[in-house]
A = this chain, B = another copy of it.
Amino acid sequence: MDLKSYLKERADRINRALEGYLPDGEIIPHNLHQAMRYSVMAGGKRIRPVLMMASCEAAGSDSERVVPVACAMEMIHTYSLIHDDLPAMDDDDFRRGRPTCHKVFGEAMAILAGDALLTEAFVLLSAPATVQGLPHGAVRQIIQIMARNAGSFGMVGGQAVDIESEGKEVDIPTLEYIHTHKTGALILASVQAGALAGGADDRAFGHLTRYGEMVGLAFQIADDILDVVGDEKQLGKKVGVDEARGKATYPALFGLQEARRRAVELRDLAVAALEPFGAAAEPLRRIACYIVDRTC
């Protein structure tokens, strides 16, 4: 398989679906709906939806059924970016190569657009058409996993500790808490939701969970490394901001070389967890390598 065209084809599929799911900017309230669209349709690699679809396939099912769930996940991810960029939070002016939501629509509308996207995700998850394509009872489990991993014991918990740690000396357990929660939680939830949608049994679900945990942490370490060595234009955002802010990162605590070694180790553990799935897990394997190898 050609990973580049695979990723593009999947991202295009998700973008088309999101286009249909997001409220039209011509519908009242115009500004709110335009702000939601502006941030969601700004691009991005759609890595969480792609992982979800690939996980559904590894579990032995057609990934088409999980597209609405994957779009809901991307809405949750985008809401977290909008709120993270706010002046009271990370105060970022650019995201995905364009001005951030609050820069274009104002702070109040950005707060509301984030709120509305998080809420819309659950509208989509509980829609009859979403439920119909999935195994019996899977939607309740998927909502439970996505909400848990997005909330105070997941992503938002990671953001809270991250913000409280700025400018402070951070120990290794705190750094790992931030990483596994702030980024890792939604990546893990994406893989798990794909597994449930694909009808994975308990054993397969366990293996895919292991994969999701390893890839989630590897993803954040890679992100940290790219903030040090990455190319601003290619990433569509400023680099070097973690250091400027005194953010806790892997390279800051362990050095670049050790951070890379750890990312490679996690990649190998992720790939090893896929062993029982054979060829059906090939996309998941390649994505784990793609996430880590672009940092080397």
- A residues whose Cβ falls under 8 Å from a Cβ of B: 23, 28-29, 31-33, 36, 79-80, 83, 86, 88-89, 106-109, 111-112, 114-116, 118-120, 122-123, 125-128, 131, 139-141, 143-144, 147-148, 150-153, 156-157, 159-161, 163-164, 177
Cβ-neighbour of A157 out of B28, B83, B89, B164 (below 8 A): B28
- Dominant SS among interface residues on chain A: helix
Give 16 pairs: A residue, B residue, CB < 8 Å, sorted on A: A23-B153, A28-B157, A29-B152, A32-B156, A80-B115, A83-B115, A86-B111, A88-B106, A88-B111, A112-B160, A115-B115, A116-B156, A118-B118, A120-B152, A122-B122, A123-B148
Select A151's contact among B86, B119, B139, B150, beta carbons within 8 Å.
B119
Bound together, the chains give a CA A156 to CA B114 distance in angstroms of: 10
Q: Is B151 touching A116 in the complex (CB atoms < 8 A)? A: yes
What CA separation (Å) do A238 and B141 show in the bound complex? 43
A120: chain B residues within 8 A (beta carbon)? 147, 151-152
Pairwise interchain contact B152-A33, C-beta atoms closer than 8 A: yes
